Amino acid sequence: MSKRALQLATAILACVPLSTGLLTMLGVFDPLYRTLALPAAPLLDSNLRFFGGIWFVVGLAFLTTIRNIEREAKLYRLLWGAIFFGGIGRIWSAYSVGAPPLPFIAFTGLELAGAPLFILWQNSVARHQGLAPKSD
């Protein structure tokens, strides 16, 4: 698949952590969590906002890879690796606490299956451009 298609797909997918990261910065008042009537507990609210901020920056980091995506193997792999391990966390949660709503099950599929596929796609684009990703 082409570099341009990978750039476009990455830009589109970067919108997910950008938008949901901002929403999660609302803490327990995030519209998703508001329906659960969570207590306004400082620890919970603080952690939600903290992780929302990190998630937002993941989106920004993906955006920085777009221009020279064929040369961004290390950062691209690191970001998708973080998302993959987030998917493992979701699986662990489903086993420990129960399955989340259906959209989050779909997210888990993207996190666990999409992460390796996007890494392979980026690697293919890099090889096509005559760049072999460094293995350091």
Residue 80 domain-assigned? yes
State how far the Cα of 29 lies from the Cα of 23, in Å rounded to an integer.
9
- pLDDT tens-digit map of 41-67: 999 999 999 999 999 999 999 999 999
3-class SS shares of the chain: helix, strand, coil, % to 5: 80, 0, 20
Residue 136 domain-assigned? no
* Contact between residue 14 and residue 63 where contact means Cβ atoms under 8 Å apart: yes
Of 126, 14, 12, 124, give the one whose Cα is nearest residue 64. 14
State how far the Cα of 97 lies from the Cα of 52, in Å rounded to an integer.
21
Query: Residue 99: what pLDDT?
Result: 93
Query: Residue 103: what pLDDT?
Result: 87
- Mean pLDDT across the chain: 93
Residue 116 domain-assigned? yes
Confidence band for 135, pLDDT divided at 50, 70 and 90: low
* Whole-prediction pTM: 0.89
Query: Residue 98: what pLDDT?
Result: 95
* Contact between residue 28 and residue 39 where contact means Cβ atoms under 8 Å apart: yes
Residue 24 domain-assigned? yes
The residue segments making up the domain with residue 11 are 3-128
Number of domains in the chain: 1
